[in-house]
Each structure stands twice: as C-alpha cells, then as structure tokens.
Amino acid sequence: MDWHELARRPLSYSEQGATKGPLPAGYHHITRSEVLGRGREVFEAAANRIFVWEMHRGAGLEVVASGPAEVGNIAVVGLGPLAGACRVIYTVDEPHRRGFAYGTLQGHPESGEEYFGVRLDPTDGSVYGEIVAFSRPGRWWSKLGSLPAALLQRHITDRYLAALRPETS
C-alpha cells in the first residue's frame, strides 16, 4: 500500500466535517443511534473497537489502515473490489463521547463522510452507538448501482452497531 500516494489525494467532496451538524443536501443520509448496553466498561470497550477498526472488521469489511483512527491516517475499507480509501478528518475524545469521522478520497466508489461514535448518557449509564453519514456515487460506474449501494450501506450500518455490542467483543 502506498500510504504517501494515498495521503496526497484530496477528499472527493467539499463538505468536510458536515457529519457534526446538518447534513448537506444532494446526498443519501444515514443517522442511527442504538443502545449498546450500560456502564463505563461498555462505553470504553466500544470506543476501543471503533478506534482500532474492529467495528469495521466486525461488520464484515476488510480494512487496511496506516494506523489507528487518528486525524490524517488513511484506511482502505470495503468488500473486495468495492474498497476505497478514506482519511480520518476529525476525532471526538470527550468524557462521555468518543468517535471519529472519515471522508472519502478521490477514486473511492462513493463520495462523502461517515462518523462512528459511542456516547455514554451520564444520567442513566446507557451507552449508545452512533453512525452519521452522507454519501453519493463517486464514480460513473457506481451511479449504476446507487440503489443497491444505499441498501448495502444501511445493512453495513446495522452490522457496525452490532459489532459494538458487548456480546460481540
């Protein structure tokens, strides 16, 4: 893997960081939050699985990464020939919230951003897995499969959240 070449590639979209707020128009959106369990131990374990790519692998995706999910690191994520390179663009490291977002790099089959996080509700100890994404076809050929791709993304989102549950660790 030529990490230097991948690091030079620009993002394939202009709305960098938009998973933090209102999602941009013109994209397919996903916003999911699901209870994973309760307590600090569940929160810490889920956060760790997110940052070392185990959530992605647990969802059945192949991941080759330049390192853990830290700003600037690159990951090639996907299913066989449907893999693409992404760059970690921001992280969240707060007492009750952790996660990161990556954005697609030019050449990726899709164009957009995805946030993967975990949140601990301090009032009742509930731990939530959170996925926020916006995407659209990034290549001419991926436009042909845009409906199946959207359905696959929803399925993978379910698998991401399942991979964060304590019983899957």
Could you read off the pLDDT of 80-124 as tens digits, one per residue? 877 899 999 999 999 999 999 999 999 888 899 999 999 999 999
* Residue 7 to residue 33: CA distance in whole angstroms: 31
- The pTM of this model reads 0.91
Buried b (16+ CB within 10 A) or exposed e, 147-166: eebbeebeebbebbbbbbbe
Q: Could you report the per-residue pLDDT of 14-49, keeping only the tens digit for each?
A: 999 999 999 999 999 999 999 999 999 999 999 999
Domains of the chain: 3-16+28-168 (3.30.530.20)
Q: How many helices (H) and strands (E) does the chain have?
A: 5, 7
Residue 146 confidence (pLDDT) above 60: no
